[in-house]
């Protein structure tokens, strides 16, 4: 076995179609670099468990994924009118204080 191969094999397969593995958080902490390499190379997703309950999911980023989640919203909004214009019409504005 290659060096560190047994570390990566600590990720237990899960019986689902998503191709996910599971690992306890203490095992993940001890082997995180090897697990990160495996996820990067294989694209496999890993569920990290704390006391048997899922707390995080580790997956490889998609190629088109942006650094900013807001980028997904680009082109979905339409600006109507002047965005710098006052919100209330003139008749609703308070008169200047004296």
Query: Could you report the per-residue pLDDT of 8-38, keeping only the tens digit for each?
Result: 455 554 434 445 689 999 999 999 999 999 9
pLDDT per residue over 49-95, tens digit each?
999 999 999 988 876 666 777 777 888 888 777 777 777 766 666 66
Establish if 67 belongs to a structural domain. Answer: no
Establish if 42 belongs to a structural domain. Answer: yes
CATH code, 30: 3.40.1620.10
Establish if 54 belongs to a structural domain. Answer: yes
Q: Order the strands of the 20-24 sheet from edge to edge.
A: 12-13, 20-24, 45-50, 53-58
Establish if 77 belongs to a structural domain. Answer: no
The boundaries of the domain holding residue 42 are: 1-62
pTM (whole model) above 0.85: no
Count: domains in the chain: 1
Query: Do 23 and 34 meet the contact criterion of CB atoms below 8 Å apart?
Result: no
């Amino acid at each position: 076995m290659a060096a560190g191969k047994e570390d990566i094999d600590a990720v237990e397969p899960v019986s689902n179609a998503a191709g996910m593995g599971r690992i306890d958080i203490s095992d993940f902490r001890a082997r995180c670099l090897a697990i990160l390499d495996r996820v990067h190379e294989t694209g496999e997703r890993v569920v990290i468990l704390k006391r048997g309950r899922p707390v995080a999911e580790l997956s490889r980023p998609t190629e088109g994924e942006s650094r900013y989640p807001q980028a997904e919203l680009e082109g979905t909004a339409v600006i109507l009118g002047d965005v710098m214009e006052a919100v209330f019409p003139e008749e609703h504005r308070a008169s200047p204080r004296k």
